[in-house]
Amino acid sequence: MPAFDLAGAMQALAAADERLGRLIAETLEFRVESDGTESPYETLLESITYQSISGKAAETIFGRIRALGKNGKAPEPEEMLRLQKRVLRKAGLSGAKIAAMKDLARKTLDGVVPTREESEKMTDKELIDRLVSVRGIGAWTVEMYLIFRLGRPDILPIHDLGVQKGFALTYGKRYIPKPAELQKFGERWRPYRTVASWYMWRACEREASKARKIGKAPVRKKRGKRTSGRGRAAKAGKLRGGGNRAPSGRPEGLPLRDGLKFCASGRTPRGRDFPEAFCRRSPSPCEGRRDAG
């Protein structure tokens, strides 16, 4: 159970948000079973395994990773760094996940990743800033650690699809909210945004069939500007290779590389009229290569 007044949190949320209050009254009571034994290293090691694959496959692979450690526990940071890539590949990990796990082990030994005791004393922001420096670890993974391992009361995972869909269902939206919109709306839930997020998940589960149909809002195409008579005439002149000149002095639409070739060889590219003024203003091909390399 959380280390804060749950009854007081639900009363405060219901008073601040009528629709959320109805959802709280109609569903299960908030409950998070936090595990106080795992270190950030162990939790994040498991999180990396579970990224982008099914839960069943990840469970199998993480079981193999545990078998590589001592007493059925995941390899300690020192052990992880000693394990060869081919061994981890054989366990089912991708190259990217192996690199992420080794970076996690290295940063744990360097003190970047805190111990369990140290993380208890750090603020949410301090933990997020510290842990997202690990390769393959994003804000969402750290937010899940803060909610389900440390039991922090004021976390709002604005990029979580379940929270987004639960929000859309609860507030009668046709599409999932943008993260910034959810962030702004969630200010009314402080300092118990974790509890509100948990109820958004419940709303999503309760109406799973409707949740599957909710997606992102379609992107509106911008209307193109109407071309004036002068613009159409200029465009026609450009296609004919006419007198429209670029500010540099070269004909409009002629690639810079063609101009540089002409300046070096003295030949007009593709028979076009090419002003000498452009050659005087342009760098030589050697200067261009020097700047680029």
Per residue in 139-156, pLDDT (tens digit) is: 999 999 999 889 999 999
Domain contains 243? no
Within this chain, do residues 46 and 144 fall inside the same structural domain, yes or no? yes
Domain contains 238? no
Within this chain, do residues 187 and 131 fall inside the same structural domain, yes or no? no
Domain contains 112? yes
Within this chain, do residues 52 and 195 fall inside the same structural domain, yes or no? no
Three-state DSSP at 245 gives strand
Domain contains 256? yes
**Where is the domain boundary, 148, 169, 197?**
148
Q: What is the dihedral of CA 143, 146, 151, 157, to 10 degrees?
A: -10
How far is Cα of residue 193 from the mean position of the Cα atoms in its chain? Answer: 20
- Number of domains into which the chain is organized: 3
DSSP 243: S
Q: What is the CATH number of the domain that holds 78?
A: 1.10.340.30
Of 164, 140, 171, 163, nearest to 44 (Cα)?
A: 140
Domain contains 222? no
Euclidean distance between CA atoms 148 and 146, whole angstroms: 6
Domain contains 231? no
Within this chain, do residues 18 and 162 fall inside the same structural domain, yes or no? yes
Q: How confident is the model at residue 259 (pLDDT cuts 50, 70, 90)?
A: very low
**Where is the domain boundary, 96, 129, 148?**
148
Euclidean distance between CA atoms 101 and 137, whole angstroms: 10
The residue segments making up the domain with residue 98 are 40-148
What pLDDT sits at residue 55? 84
Of 118, 216, 128, nearest to 164 (Cα)?
A: 216
pLDDT tens digits for range 95-115: 999 999 999 999 999 999 999
Q: What is the CATH number of the domain that holds 181?
A: 1.10.1670.40
Domain contains 240? no
Catalytic annotation on 291?
A: no
Within this chain, do residues 122 and 259 fall inside the same structural domain, yes or no? no
Domain contains 237? no
Within this chain, do residues 74 and 118 fall inside the same structural domain, yes or no? yes
Q: How confident is the model at residue 250 (pLDDT cuts 50, 70, 90)?
A: very low
pLDDT tens digits for range 201-214: 999 999 999 999 99
Contact 46, 62 (CB under 8 A): yes
Contact 118, 126 (CB under 8 A): no
Within this chain, do residues 67 and 140 fall inside the same structural domain, yes or no? yes
**Where is the domain boundary, 148, 177, 197?**
148
Is residue 286 over pLDDT 60? no
Within this chain, do residues 46 and 139 fall inside the same structural domain, yes or no? yes
Contact 119, 127 (CB under 8 A): yes
Within this chain, do residues 144 and 46 fall inside the same structural domain, yes or no? yes
Three-state DSSP at 109 gives helix
pLDDT tens digits for range 2-32: 567 889 999 999 999 999 999 999 998 898 7
Within this chain, do residues 190 and 274 fall inside the same structural domain, yes or no? no
Within this chain, do residues 47 and 182 fall inside the same structural domain, yes or no? no
Within this chain, do residues 129 and 270 fall inside the same structural domain, yes or no? no
Catalytic residue among 110, 129, 160, 273: 160
